[in-house]
Structure 1
Amino acid sequence: MHAYKRQNLLRQWSGGLLAGVMFVSGCAAPSNPASDNNRDALELSPSAESRPVSVHDAEERESFLTFEDDTGREIRLPEQPQRIIVLSPQLLDLLYSVDGHAIAHATSPGGTVPDEAERIEEVGGMTTVNTEKLLALKPDLVIGSVVFHRELTAILDASNVPFALFNLSTYADLQQKAVLFGQLSGTENKAREALADLDQEIREWTARVPASDAPTFIMLNVTPNSLSVQRQDTVGIEVATMLHMNNLAETWEAASDSPSTAPFSLEKIVELNPDYVFILIHGAREDGEKKIQSDLASQPAWTSLRAVKENRMVILPSDRFLSNPGFRLSESVEYLAKLVYPDTYENGH
């Protein structure tokens, strides 16, 4: 990534909350005046005061909260939700991180559940949601993932259940959803304060990166059945960029079914010969390691890579670099900083 692009991204993650979630609220908690960098995340439409008052305006003003999800759908909540169901482990963890609560959740193999949520109801698996059980619980808000839960929209709309779909991949995603979940839970100030603390922790780690260094890397996705190259839109790439690393695959042509990835090409990787090869295993680590051995380690071209010869081919922890770790993002930055710049960080923080 060119320095200009990297600076833009650094301004994006360190500049506080983005204005990606618009809301109209009659009783949302006021923003925290101590968090000046993060105050502008959620704002009323600048033209709201100048428009003639309509029935729709009056309904919004009487509502608890109106916001737009990541599919562009407007979600209007007449009252603060008390019966939330969350279908994504990452989103459930974030809700509880801002002292929110749910009455039920969907399960995921290998996924963790916040201690406070261990005894709440289950509504099937993340990709096999039991909609009959979900509706029987009479939720007043269901929160799901854009990737996995779009197909539930028609069912929930027909039952008049508010249904919000979100992405949680980047730091900007984390910032936006943390504030929104704080509003849903009546803990917006706590969410903003936690984000300000996280931003400060990340700044402290990244401030020590040697200005003259810009190590190159390729990040691979490994599943039991496939290999691909990650171009963008993962927390792993974002953390590496925060640490002044250069993603060599950023400009590769995207895969036809996934704009954030590119088809795997060992020939291209050998030609670029990156300083580091980072691997993200999707699913069980054991299955991913078998795929690496069968499809990569046995190839002479793979073993010729500088990163492989110098032991800079690293399988990154999925819970820190594949799934968004939420308020533990600074731990991901710390992990990679110590890995890539051991001389700088050898004495700890």
Structure 2
Amino acid sequence: MKKVLSLVLVVLLLTSFTACAKTSNVGGLSNSKSVDKATDKELSIDVKGETYPLAIRDYLKNHIVLDKKPEKVAVLSGTPLNIWYDLGGKSVCTSDVSENIKLIPEYKEEIMKLPKVGAVYSVDMEAIIAEKPDLIIAQVGTQSTQAKKLKDMGFKVITTHIRGFDDVISTYKAFGKILDNTKEAERKIEELKNEKEAFVSKLPSESKSVVILYVTSKSLAVKLDNSIAGDVAKILKLKNIASDLPADTIGSETTPLDIEYIVGKNPDYVLVTSMISSNEEAKKSMENHFKSNPVWKGVKGISEGRVVYLPQEYFLYNAGPYYNEAIEYMARSVYPEVYGELTEWYGK
């Protein structure tokens, strides 16, 4: 009898522990997924509370609580920085800002004059600490390691992941609360959603297929749906022929290049994204690559001249406030008969 009672007690303790582990939370944020009730999609960042204190859970499921509006914020990457400033925020420093990031014109000069803490993928920890920020906003992936170290030092850190349209919306919503500017955030969100819907409503019934190539100074790969270009293609109901292929690593946006697979799928359009010195160099590199390998002639998107070079200001760096311009760029490139010629709009 004693053995039975002991066994029951152990089971009860384990059940209690498991339940606690599943429901642990900070400020009302559990460890389960946070979902946007309107779209049923997971939020990349979630903030609970309408006024301070605010409980925040970031993309990496880390939790922090802000008791009051932060006064010294260090935003370490261009995309969150753009959204932060668009809602009236300021930053005490940032990483080196690429010329290919499309900054909001009225804040561009101010942002470019901010103290720099090094390259986005290798920020100077001492320079950040010297600013004594009461909140640090870092970027997932390129800054995850530094973000963890800063968090371990006692700094309040949020890691952002802004790849697709829904991530932009989540970030506006979260930053609006942190900056105590929810009305402006809601206005921006409504504007972005309405503009996006205007493009989608004009889509022709017949869809096109695409492959999204990704060129760097050292390699060539194919982008998946969880990339910026993949997300825009999905919004425009384009069939990404790589959608069902496995990522090269867990969570990656790319899959290894397989030319024979691409030839077999024979996409209508070839879209090219890049992480190289400039848009011009990316185009030159890919044109040379296509010429050097005759196998590419088997892809009708190439043989029939339907290669679209996607500019880095929209497809390497998430344009945040200008995400709908990324949608428009791709829409005009693939469906000029519906949305108008690209040359009539881009750069004007």
Task: Tell me the TM-score normalized by structure 1.
Answer: 0.80
| CA 295–201 in structure 1, closer or farther in 2 if over 3 Å, else same | same
Aligned to 1:276: 269
Is the 2:47–2:177 Cα contact (8 Å) retained in structure 1? no
Shift of 1:220: 0.7
| CA 304–19 in structure 1, closer or farther in 2 if over 3 Å, else same | closer
Distance of 2:315 and 2:126 partners within structure 1: 34
Q: Which moved more, 1:67-76 or 1:128-137?
A: 128-137
Aligned to 2:77: 88
Matched, 1:141 2:141: no
Distance of 2:255 and 2:112 partners within structure 1: 38
Shift of 1:239: 1.5
Aligned to 1:340: 334
Which 5+ residue runs of structure 1 have no aligned equivalent? Answer: 1-11, 29-62
Aligned to 1:311: 305
| CA 281–186 in structure 1, closer or farther in 2 if over 3 Å, else same | same
Aligned to 1:132: 126
Aligned to 1:196: 190
Distance of 1:261 and 1:199 partners within structure 2: 27
Q: Give SS of 2:113's match.
A: coil
Q: Which moved more, 1:108-117 or 1:336-345?
A: 108-117
How many residue pairs match? The answer is 302
Distance of 1:190 and 1:77 partners within structure 2: 21
Q: One-letter code of the match for 2:286?
A: I
Q: Give SS of 2:325's match.
A: helix
Shift of 1:296: 2.9
Distance of 1:120 and 1:13 partners within structure 2: 37
Is the 2:211–2:267 Cα contact (8 Å) retained in structure 1? yes
**1:251 aligns with one of 244, 249, 253:** 244
Q: Which moved more, 1:269-278 or 1:181-190?
A: 181-190
Runs of 4+ in 1 over 3 A off after TM superposition: 12-25, 108-114, 256-259, 346-349
**1:173 aligns with one of 167, 191, 204:** 167
Aligned to 2:217: 224
Distance of 2:176 and 2:40 partners within structure 1: 16
Matched, 1:66 2:59: no
Shift of 1:257: 5.9
Distance of 1:265 and 1:109 partners within structure 2: 31
Shift of 1:310: 1.5
Distance of 2:99 and 2:192 partners within structure 1: 26
Aligned to 2:255: 262
| CA 324–272 in structure 1, closer or farther in 2 if over 3 Å, else same | same
Aligned to 1:98: 87
Distance of 1:262 and 1:158 partners within structure 2: 34
Q: Give SS of 1:105's match.
A: coil
Is the 1:206–1:242 Cα contact (8 Å) retained in structure 2? yes
Q: Cα RMSD (Å) of the superposition?
A: 2.4
Q: Give SS of 2:242's match.
A: coil
Distance of 1:330 and 1:153 partners within structure 2: 30
Q: One-letter code of the match for 1:191?
A: A
Is the 2:228–2:318 Cα contact (8 Å) retained in structure 1? yes
Q: Give SS of 2:231's match.
A: helix
Q: Give SS of 2:202's match.
A: coil
**1:295 aligns with one of 284, 289, 292:** 289
The structure with the largest alpha-carbon Rg is 2
Q: Give SS of 2:141's match.
A: helix
Is the 1:101–1:185 Cα contact (8 Å) retained in structure 2? no
Shift of 1:256: 3.4
Distance of 2:125 and 2:94 partners within structure 1: 12
**1:329 aligns with one of 307, 323, 328:** 323
Q: One-letter code of the match for 2:89?
A: G
**1:320 aligns with one of 308, 314, 324:** 314
